[in-house]
Amino acid sequence: MQSDQYASDKSLGHSEDNQAPNNGISDKIQRRLAQNREAAKKSRQRKKAYVQQLETSRLKLAQLELELGRARQQGLLIAGAATNMAFCGTVNSGIGAFEIEYGRWIDEQDRHYCNLFRMKRWRTSVERFFLWIGGFRPSELINVVFPHLEPLNDVQRANVTSLRDSCSQAEEALTQGMDKLRQTLSQSITFLGVAPGSYCNQMGSALEKLESLETFIHQADHLREQSLQQMSRILTTRQAAKGLVAFAEHFQRLRALSSLWSARPIRPV
């Protein structure tokens, strides 16, 4: 419905633009170009701020690791002074196993972060293959984490299934709208400047169509956000944590697959 309304509105605007005088680049086109430059500038600023935020988070994590190490040393000293040596030995053994696994996880995350920071590429080729309008499909997220949420009661199971179905319907509607936008924009670019003296009007119409792309991206982000919030309401805190861990592991497997794909021997043609 949204894409049909968009097509009718834009076709009306297109017919009106064709009747406007064409003396060089119009003021409207110049304003559009200025707005695009300003939007690009803001996008670069947001990306820079995001990288700075990641660096700050990394420093905070390092500080927490230092404080955890100090607290761990103090705990070991206290445990060593306890009278029940057998109990302390069992506890220390469990702590040591956890520390080893946790240290491996930290090292892996640091290596992955450094690779991303050095390459300035936040998604691998395999991850980009699964992208949908700038991010993941909410229904795909639910399919990935669903098996890891057990035990679920009947109400939770019904709510999660209903949320997945509604996400699939919304994703289909947005996908159809994007396909329609891509088709109309492609046609506008194909016939750009074919008619004598119509370049500016056609360029203005193409810019207006392209602005609708931002609307679709915002709607997709909103759908992802609402899906995560709804899942947090349906699940318990423990179930939500298990789901987030499962989703993170899913992306790690995608990155591992991408690394294997990049390192594969290239067969001669």
Segment 36-56, tens digit of pLDDT:
788 778 877 877 877 777 777
Best CA proximity match to 191, nearest among 12, 14, 4, 6: 14
| Mean pLDDT, range 224-252, rounded to an integer | 90
What pLDDT is stored for residue 162 in this prediction?
A: 95
pTM, rounded to two decimals: 0.50
pLDDT in tens, 127-164: 778 888 888 899 998 999 999 988 899 999 999 999 99
- 104/108 Cα distance (integer angstroms): 6
Phi, psi of 257 (to 5 degrees): -65, -40
Do residues 126 and 255 touch, judged by C-beta distance below 8 A? yes
- Which residues make beta-bridge pairs with 132? 135
One-letter amino acid for residue 225 of the chain:
E
Identify the top-confidence range among 25-29, 187-191, 224-228.
224-228
What pLDDT is stored for residue 269 in this prediction?
A: 61
Do residues 73 and 92 touch, judged by C-beta distance below 8 A? no
What pLDDT is stored for residue 14 in this prediction?
A: 44
What pLDDT is stored for residue 142 in this prediction?
A: 93
Q: Which residue has the higher pLDDT, 120 or 151?
A: 151
What pLDDT is stored for residue 206 in this prediction?
A: 75
DSSP H helical ranges for the chain: 2-18, 27-80, 85-119, 125-129, 138-145, 154-190, 199-234, 237-262
| Mean pLDDT, range 82-87, rounded to an integer | 47
Q: Which residue has the higher pLDDT, 200 or 153?
A: 153
What pLDDT is stored for residue 21 in this prediction?
A: 44
Q: Which residue has the higher pLDDT, 242 or 192?
A: 242
Q: How would residue 69 be classed by pLDDT, with cut points 50, 70 and 90? A: confident
- 221/114 Cα distance (integer angstroms): 27
pLDDT at 227 over 80: yes
**SS3 call for 184:** helix
Q: How would residue 24 be classed by pLDDT, with cut points 50, 70 and 90? A: very low
- 182/105 Cα distance (integer angstroms): 42
| Mean pLDDT, range 235-240, rounded to an integer | 90
- 4/176 Cα distance (integer angstroms): 10
